[in-house]
Structure 1
Amino acid sequence: MEITIVIVSYQAKYFLEQTLRSAIEAVEGLDCEIIVVDNNSGDGTAAWVRERFGQQVRLIENKHNVGFGRANNQAIAQARGRYTLILNPDTIVTRSCLQSCCQWMASHPECGAIGVHMIDGDGHFLPESKRAFPTPWVSFCKIFGLSRLFPRSRWLAKYHLRYLDEREPHAVDILSGAFMFCRTSLLQQVGGFDEDFFMYGEDIDLSYRLVKAGYQNWYVPASIVHYKGESTRKESMRYVKVFYEAMLIFYRKHFPRYRAVFYPVIKLGVWMRQSLAMARRALGVPASGSKPQASPGQWVVLSRHAQEVARQCHIERYSTCIPASGETQVIVDDGSYSYGHIVQLIDSKARRGLHWHIYSSRNGIVISPKMQQP
């Protein structure tokens, strides 16, 4: 078997269906398997997957939320593919992406895992696609905002490696857990994810252990869409607390000699970030990563049945061509375009003010970067 795709899901039913349909399209004709681990979503996800995908997907149902790492390990232990793809349930993957990863692995025996060019739902590059090891200096620059102030500096902005061309392949340190294409034998050899991490940090730890095992991690510029967990606000107090607690676990494990110096720095960083989040909330200031609420602008419907899709979406006036400028909302019908074509459109036409939504022809709903799951 060529590829095992592992998807851990928690309360992301409609995003998950889109991810599964894109994955099934991507592996058509290949000897592959797809395993979904549902972490007790409580929203009917397991029954939904059984009803809609049947034998196309192997389902593991957990009775409670065991965390990202442990849930992935349940599937990794059963993986039969030469390669295992760890994939988030809010992504759109393409055949060309998987082909690029397989070809890169075959021609680079020193490569243990691959990350790719991830774009958000509006086509903007996600910098966590490639990162450096969070050494004390790299972490200090991130915690205290130096990497954001000097994003192209090789000295101050190593965390996201923004000075590396996003359209070129590079050997990098850290890959994102939203898409990690790994050699299955190596993944099982190193024991999969460290289950001490419940959420955040597992991908950093695994990437570090793959390199310690003598392999390289590579960034390959093949594009996927990653909605980036829209329910998680990066400036929230909860995110700050959970993320930096994960960093403390990482340092206790891999850099114990820095404990006396680095722990107080981490604690200070957490206190500063939480204080900033509290101040923003008290003053009603939007988080730095949030988007302003703009007027909808003009609508574009891309579909062989544009009139029907517009009617279903309650849109009275629309165009069928994407303008070169201006605030524009684009609805693309997944019944008229393949997911590979949709990702290509979002990637190639990204610009300021252009917002993408995917009409799910099977469900009659719109999958949007800002949608709230029921």
Structure 2
Amino acid sequence: MKKSEKRPANVAVITVSYNSSSQLDDFLASAVTTVAEATQILVVDNASSDIETTRSLTEQHGVMLLELSENRGYGGAVNAGAATLDNTIDFIVVANPDLVFQPDAVAHLVAAAEADPGVAATGPHVLNVDGSAYPSARAIPSLRIGIGHALFANVWPRNPWTQAYHSDVTTHSTQAAVGWLSGSCLCVRRSAFESVGGFDEGYFMYFEDVDLGYRLGKLGFTNLFVPAAEVTHIGGVSTAAHSKAMLRVHHDSAYRFLAKKYPGAFLAPLRWLLRLALTARVKLARQK
């Protein structure tokens, strides 16, 4: 990859902040090194109480800021930001503010998509701070796997359904097609994103990325894991203090996705079993 190709001008990077200003400085410092102009970076703030700090940081780094009057959730905030982008933008990188980019990460994601018009989304190799792989490229979960994982994950951690649910391709050293890419960091072709209506805002948090990958796949597009692109994931501040409450939100989103994917009266008993299993798992977690 030539040096001139490392700072693409046809991509925007959108991050969503909800009281995440403590992580924005490092994120923005790395993000501006990945694109041609700092104004290609957009912070969408979900009506945070730390907006003054966020304003100061975005001004300091020369990036754009969109302030929402209410918390629209992750997908809703990304959609709002995407709607403001200039028509010269062909790709959108969606990233959590608790990430640090390698300088050529965005260029690798864009180049992989540009090389194949059938690719709608690309995702990087996401690393934890200890150097281990963060699971970010997986298969679309099935109802069977969802029920098995919900029923047995707490009492039989190595059960086959949980292993299937957690399995991903992030140990691969080559590009690979997957069912979905983590919304912690992914690059999506703007035309494809718009063709499916962006993120489904019915997911306030969690599973909006699974749903996006599934809907893109149904249209015949490929979601591609691109290990040459690397980012480091630090961990969310917005949800860390409320992890048990967030588990309920996660499970509600998981149920919504699988119920949408598997409709019909004849599957109602299995959906009921899934709901029961997810509810029981939340109760067990709260007792710990």
Structure 2 equivalent of residue 74 of structure 1: 80
- 1:249 and 2:266 correspond: no
The match for 1:175 is 181
Deviation of the 1:219 alpha carbon: 0.9
1:95 corresponds, among 86, 103, 124, to 103
Tell me the equivalent position of 1:20: 28
Match of 2:71 in 1: 65
- Per the TM alignment, residue 201 of structure 1 is displaced from its structure 2 partner at its CA by 1.3
Q: Which has the higher contact order (CA 8 A, sep 6+)?
A: 2
Pick from 158, 178, 189: which aligns with 1:149?
Answer: 158
Paired amino acid for 1:161: S
**Aligned 1:34-73 pairs, distance under 5 A:** 34-43=41-50, 44-53=52-61, 56-73=62-79
1:277 aligns with 2:280: no
- The answer as to 2:94 corresponding to 1:86 is yes
Superposition pairs of residues 201-350 of structure 1, within 5 angstroms: 201-221=207-227, 222-230=229-237, 232=239, 236-257=243-264, 259-280=267-288
Distance change in 2, residues 1:236/1:15 (3 Å):
closer
Q: Is the 8 A contact 1:251 1:259 kept in 2?
A: no
Q: Which amino acid aligns with 1:26?
A: T
TM-score, normalised by the number of residues in structure 1: 0.67
Partner of 2:18: 10
Return the offset for 1:9: 0.5
Counterpart amino acid of residue 190 in structure 2: T
1:37-63 alpha-carbon deviations (Å, 9 max, x no partner): 11111112442234413xx31211112
Could you say which structure has the larger radius of gyration?
1
| Worse overlay, 64-73 or 252-261 | 252-261
Query: What is the letter of the counterpart of residue 163 of structure 2?
Result: A
Q: CA deviation at 1:122?
A: 2.1
Larger helix share, 1 or 2: 2
**Mind listing any 5+ residue stretches in structure 1 that lack a counterpart?**
281-374
Report how many residues are paired: 273
1:185 to 187, 191, 194: 191
Q: 1:171 to 1:234 in 2, by over 3 A?
A: farther
Compute the displacement of 1:275 (Å): 2.7
Instruction: Report the CA distance shift for 1:72/1:235 in structure 2 as closer, same or farther (over 3 A).
Output: closer
Q: Which moved more, 1:218-227 or 1:137-146?
A: 137-146
CA contact (8 A) 1:237 1:273 kept: no
Match of 2:116 in 1: 108
- Greater CA drift, 15-24 or 156-165: 156-165
Q: Secondary structure at the match of 1:118?
A: strand
Return the alpha-carbon distance in structure 1 between the equivalents of residues 241 and 22 of structure 2: 22
144, 158, 164: which one pairs with 1:158? Answer: 164
* CA distance 1:235–1:126, shift in 2 (3 Å): farther
Q: Distance in 1 between matches of 2:125 and 2:149?
A: 21
Compared CA separation, residues 9 and 236, structure 1 to 2 (3 A): closer
Give ranges in structure 2 of 5+ residues lacking alignment. Answer: 1-8
- Residue 133 (structure 1) aligns with: 140
- TM superposition shift of 1:34: 1.1
The answer to whether 1:118 aligns with 2:87 is no
**CA distance in 2: counterparts of 1:164 and 1:74, whole angstroms:** 30
> Match of 1:91, as an amino acid?
L
Partners of 1:193 and 1:96 in 2: how far apart?
A: 26
- Find the aligned partners of 2:175 and 2:241 in 1 and give their Cα distance: 27
Residue 267 of structure 1, CA deviation? 2.2
Alpha-carbon distance in structure 2 between the residues aligned to 1:32 and 1:210: 28
Distance 2:170 2:25 in 1: 34
The residue type paired with residue 104 of structure 2 is S
Q: TM-score, normalised by structure 2?
A: 0.86
Map of 1:317 onto structure 2: none
Percent identical residues: 32
